[in-house]
């Protein structure tokens, strides 16, 4: 049987992974990206054991392991100086850690591997329209070289949360927007908690705000908080040596009504978005990409929505529950969190449940 041609829209982590997985199987693939060059911002910083396992076959995993930092624990500080940890090193897998690596560096590794497989990202090229023909969809592409119509191809929309692909095929993106803004900073910092080495940390405050820190190597950290003074939750004394990137963003939790319509597929943020709790956003996109490439190769694409949509819904439900627990402003719920829920992490069954969510296994 002839292999189908595949056309991917969007060269974020999902699109790049999908292109690699198809190219290494000998499936003809093109990938377009509207931006003229890669963005140098860190965005997603945690790569989980499931992604590391999936990216082994393409040879990407060893490069991520070399470049990234191994996170062994997630420490949570709450109440009056109490703390408890999720022990990532108890994940029952050879990758019993998360790899911390800024997303732009992950994308560089993916794009280099794709180039080695003979595929180049076609930049300054974007989806302009998807036209229904009665036998599926054709894609109209506008690029620096003019217009082109893509026919007789499988089309993958890996074009992010505001996916034009999804809008063009009229697929609803059901869910909720979270009103409160979040703040982010990538900084070089000198502070006492440096002694905790390669631990991610969460600082739960009594007023329902929370701050998170993730080490990115040396004195570089990612800070994330739902309070505007993003440094405000850091235990004193600390000194910010250098601020590399500061940003504000709003969160939504949404799931596409279907991940496939005729010959068009949705993957990554185009299909699902949720809070950054558990660090699953980029990882879920990498999973979609690997599973979809596998199904295309096996001629079983009808399984894609039935397989991936429930997986994404499960992650959205789990991460939303934990997000609500983290950010509750109800004094009663804060009391219950500090005196009952967080201490439950002492029990191995509860640890196992959290590790399953974080690892993606």
Nearer CB in complex with ligand FAD: 164/202: 164
According to the binding rule CB under 6 A, does residue 145 interact with ligand FAD?
no
The closest alpha carbon to 46, from 229, 243, 231, 286, belongs to 286
What CA–CA distances, in Å, run from 353 to 94, 217, 345, 357? 18, 28, 10, 7
Per-residue binder mask for ligand FAD (CB under 6 A), 303-342, x = binder: ----------------------------------------
Rounded distance between C-alpha atoms, residue 154 and residue 6, angstroms: 5
According to the binding rule CB under 6 A, does residue 126 interact with ligand FAD?
yes
According to the binding rule CB under 6 A, does residue 215 interact with ligand FAD?
no
DSSP code, position 26: T
Query: Which residue in 25, 34, 75, 303 binds ligand FAD (CB under 6 A)?
Result: 34
Query: Which residue in 45, 119, 150, 234 binds ligand FAD (CB under 6 A)?
Result: 45
According to the binding rule CB under 6 A, does residue 268 interact with ligand FAD?
yes
DSSP assignment string, 167-228: HHTT--EEEEEEEEEEEEEEEEEE-GGGGG-SEEEEEE-TTS-EEEEEE-STTEEEEEESSS
Cβ atoms of 17 and 55 closer than 8 Å: yes
Q: Which residues on adjacent β-strands are paired with residue 130?
A: 139
Cβ atoms within 10 Å of 257's Cβ, excluding its own: 15
According to the binding rule CB under 6 A, does residue 184 interact with ligand FAD?
yes
Q: Least separation, in Å, of the C-beta of 82 and ligand FAD? A: 25
Query: Which residue in 247, 258, 327, 328 binds ligand FAD (CB under 6 A)?
Result: 247
Sites for ligand FAD among residues 62-121 (CB under 6 A)? 103
Nearer CB in complex with ligand FAD: 113/334: 113
According to the binding rule CB under 6 A, does residue 160 interact with ligand FAD?
yes
Cβ atoms of 307 and 287 closer than 8 Å: no
Query: Which residue in 158, 185, 256, 293 binds ligand FAD (CB under 6 A)?
Result: 158
Rounded distance between C-alpha atoms, residue 86 and residue 93, angstroms: 16
The position carrying tokens 């595949």 is 6
According to the binding rule CB under 6 A, does residue 208 interact with ligand FAD?
no
Q: Least separation, in Å, of the C-beta of 214 and ligand FAD? A: 8
Rounded distance between C-alpha atoms, residue 267 and residue 286, angstroms: 9
Q: Least separation, in Å, of the C-beta of 249 and ligand FAD? A: 5
Rounded distance between C-alpha atoms, residue 213 and residue 113, angstroms: 30
Q: Are strands 173-190 and 220-225 parallel, antiparallel or unpaired?
A: antiparallel
Nearer CB in complex with ligand FAD: 122/294: 122
Nearer CB in complex with ligand FAD: 261/334: 261
Nearer CB in complex with ligand FAD: 91/127: 127
Binding site for ligand FAD (CB under 6 A): 9-15, 32-35, 43-46, 103, 126-127, 158-160, 164, 184, 247, 249, 268-269, 276, 279-282, 285
């Amino acid at each position: 049987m002839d292999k189908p041609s595949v056309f991917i829209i969007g060269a974020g982590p999902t699109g790049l992974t999908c292109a690699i997985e198809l190219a290494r199987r000998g499936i003809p693939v093109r990938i377009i990206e509207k931006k003229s060059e890669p963005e140098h911002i860190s965005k997603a910083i945690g790569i989980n054991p499931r992604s590391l396992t999936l990216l082994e076959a393409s040879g990407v995993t060893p490069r991520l392991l070399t470049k990234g930092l191994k996170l062994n624990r997630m420490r949570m500080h709450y109440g009056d100086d109490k703390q408890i940890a999720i022990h990532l090193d108890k994940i029952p897998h050879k990758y019993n850690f998360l790899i911390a690596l800024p997303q732009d560096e992950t994308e560089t590794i993916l794009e280099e591997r794709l180039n080695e497989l003979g595929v180049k990202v076609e930049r300054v090229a974007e989806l302009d329209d998807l036209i229904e023909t009665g036998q599926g969809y054709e894609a109209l592409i506008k690029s620096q070289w003019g217009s082109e119509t893509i026919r007789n191809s499988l089309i993958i929309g890996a074009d992010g949360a505001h996916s034009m692909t999804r809008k063009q095929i009229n697929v609803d993106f059901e869910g909720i927007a979270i009103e409160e803004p979040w703040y982010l900073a990538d900084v070089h910092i000198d502070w006492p908690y440096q002694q905790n080495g390669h631990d991610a940390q969460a600082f739960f405050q009594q007023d329902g705000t929370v701050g998170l820190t993730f080490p990115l190597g040396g004195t570089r950290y990612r800070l994330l908080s739902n309070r505007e003074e993003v440094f405000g939750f850091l235990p004193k004394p600390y000194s910010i040596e250098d601020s590399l990137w500061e940003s504000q963003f709003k969160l939504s939790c949404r799931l596409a009504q279907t991940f496939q319509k005729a010959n068009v597929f949705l993957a990554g943020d185009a299909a699902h978005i949720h809070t950054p709790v558990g660090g699953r956003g980029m990882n879920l996109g990498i999973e979609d990409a690997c599973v979809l490439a596998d199904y295309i190769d096996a001629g079983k694409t009808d399984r894609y929505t039935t397989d991936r949509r429930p997986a994404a819904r499960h992650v959205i439900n789990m991460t939303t529950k934990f997000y609500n627990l983290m950010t509750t402003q109800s004094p009663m719920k804060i009391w219950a969190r500090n005196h009952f829920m967080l201490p439950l992490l002492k029990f191995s069954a509860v640890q196992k449940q959290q590790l399953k969510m974080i690892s993606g296994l």
